[in-house]
Structure 1
């Protein structure tokens, strides 16, 4: 069986664009010689805030946004993403955007190196993925048989 991901350095990509918004190309372009971009910030905002603002400006049917830099190398920066995700969810709810939205939040793993790695918490970080799924209430009511797992 073949395995396919949204991004791979070794592959040329999809023949047809699979998303309405995908931030990998944006991040790649920002990294090319841009003096206003550092490892975590762009124009005075975190890269995650920048990505979320761009996503909200677009009317999408599918969006894939990654927030890797803030958590891949540090346990302490996760609080920044927590606040951003909380604000994003509140904004989606306030603007009634969750009525027509399927929302999936994934976390593949936490930090996998450094001093924390050999500790109990480090082993949990390495091994525990996360997936949260939001399905609009109307869809649950109308198609409940499809949601049984």
Structure 2
């Protein structure tokens, strides 16, 4: 029997409380599907870091958080309106108070990346996280997992 792929997406207002709402929503959806605490926390952290970046680097703009998931993987996608500001993994100073979010996302993810919309001025940063431990996915496999969203049913 094929796995059930679900998707959930919501656009958030540009307020700090929106990050908390997005994190809690993702955690609740995965918990309701039987995901264990540790991978739920990993997905919640990825949502937090990517949504915080959208809020911080595109002030005053709404951002959209999409979660596509099945019994094995979760795909987190955060879309914002900053096409010219592509994220990069920084090298923060040891005493820096910020700048480690993408390092955390990269460490938690099987694969992560970004894409620019060819139709509008929006950018999406994405992360794929395994329900159980796993190693990095080859790019072709990551692309296939991301393609699941086109076959997903609303949560």
Instruction: Give the structure-1-normalised TM-score.
Output: 0.31
Kindly name which structure, 1 or 2, has the bigger radius of gyration based on alpha carbons: 1
Considering fraction of residues, name the structure with more strand. 2
Considering fraction of residues, name the structure with more helix. 1
Q: Greater relative contact order (Cα 8 A, min sep 6): structure 1 or 2?
A: 2
Instruction: Give the structure-2-normalised TM-score.
Output: 0.30
